[in-house]
Amino acid sequence: MFGWPRRRGADDPYGIRRLARAIESTGLVMRASDAELAEAERALGRPVPEEVVAFLRGFPDRGARMLDPEGHAQRSSALRQLLMALDGEVAPAGIVGPSAGDLAAGRNWWYLMFHAKPGTKRFPEWEGWLGLRFSQGEEGIAQAEARYATRLPDSYRRLLAVFDHVAHSGLHMHEGVLGPRAGAGVQGFEGELDYIRMWLRVAGRLAEASPEQLEAYLPFYADPYGNEYLFARRSRGTVFRFDHETCGIGPTPHSDFDAFFAALLAGRLGP
């Protein structure tokens, strides 16, 4: 998914600036200097967000706890697992964010970028990379719940309050890659539903599920094999899966979002 060189010199060891140029966005390395921040602000035509500067300057010393000041991880095993991985198994690489054109169009997206430390074997399908997009806020979560007449599982909801997109090579919490794509965060639910509807139309009578049955579910994760993982809108328990080959919806071994996320982090989802 990313595909840029892993090492680009002492001042940019992970190639963040190169990536930013490739996708015509903003790239800032860890501990960015005042001059680098000023240059980025001139290009953007506005200040770099305070939380971005705080991450670049503070994360190497303060660690993942600084990313969850409201303590959502206390009630979300999934978020807690993710923050522990940030502290123990990956190294901060920098920030990738919007261009001036993105901001002018209202697309304000910023990803915290990490890379697995040497010897880490927990992320075999990630190619070592992890991107986390800052949450767009509680309002967007509440709007999505109202639109789909559901209450998202609390652990998932609290993860969304901190990061609304977990992106890595081939696997993602919603379809899409880094950037202001429609498929990230709570704004991505409809795009995922349209993807499943397309498969149901193509399969026709051979589909094991119907469009009417799909309305009882909400997709929250797209795997690299064309399948989708779903919540039942009226139940916050078992995680379900849409199989794009059979066009059916069935249960998974994951009793809840926390169990699913543990398998995701360990690379155990499989095809």
Q: What's the CA gap between 199 and 243, in Å, rounded?
A: 10
State if pTM tops 0.75.
Answer: yes
Contact 224/170 with Cβ under 8 angstroms? yes
Contact 91/173 with Cβ under 8 angstroms? no
Residue 124: CB partners within 8 Å, gap ≥ 6?
267
Whole-number average pLDDT of the chain: 87
Q: What's the CA gap between 108 and 102, in Å, rounded?
A: 7
Strands 240-243 and 171-172: unpaired
Inform me whether the pLDDT recorded for 183 exceeds 90: no
Q: What's the CA gap between 127 and 169, in Å, rounded?
A: 6
- 213-232 in b/e form (b: 16+ CB < 10 A) is ebebbbbbbbbeeebbbbbb
Mean pLDDT of 50-71: 95
Q: Is 36 exposed, middle or buried (0-12, 13-18, 19+ CB in 10 A)?
A: middle
- Kindly list the structural domains of the chain, giving each domain's residue range(s) and its CATH number in brackets, ordered by start: 16-265 (3.40.1580.10)
Inform me whether the pLDDT recorded for 103 exceeds 80: yes
Residues 204-218 have pLDDT tens digits of 999 999 999 999 999
Residues 216-264 have pLDDT tens digits of 999 988 887 889 999 999 887 789 999 999 999 999 999 999 999 998 8
Cα dist from 240 to 4, 196, 227, 231, 255, whole Å: 34, 13, 11, 6, 9
Q: pLDDT band for 169, please (50, 70, 90 cuts).
A: low
Contact 252/205 with Cβ under 8 angstroms? no
Residues 110-157 have pLDDT tens digits of 999 998 888 776 554 456 778 898 888 888 899 999 999 999 999 999
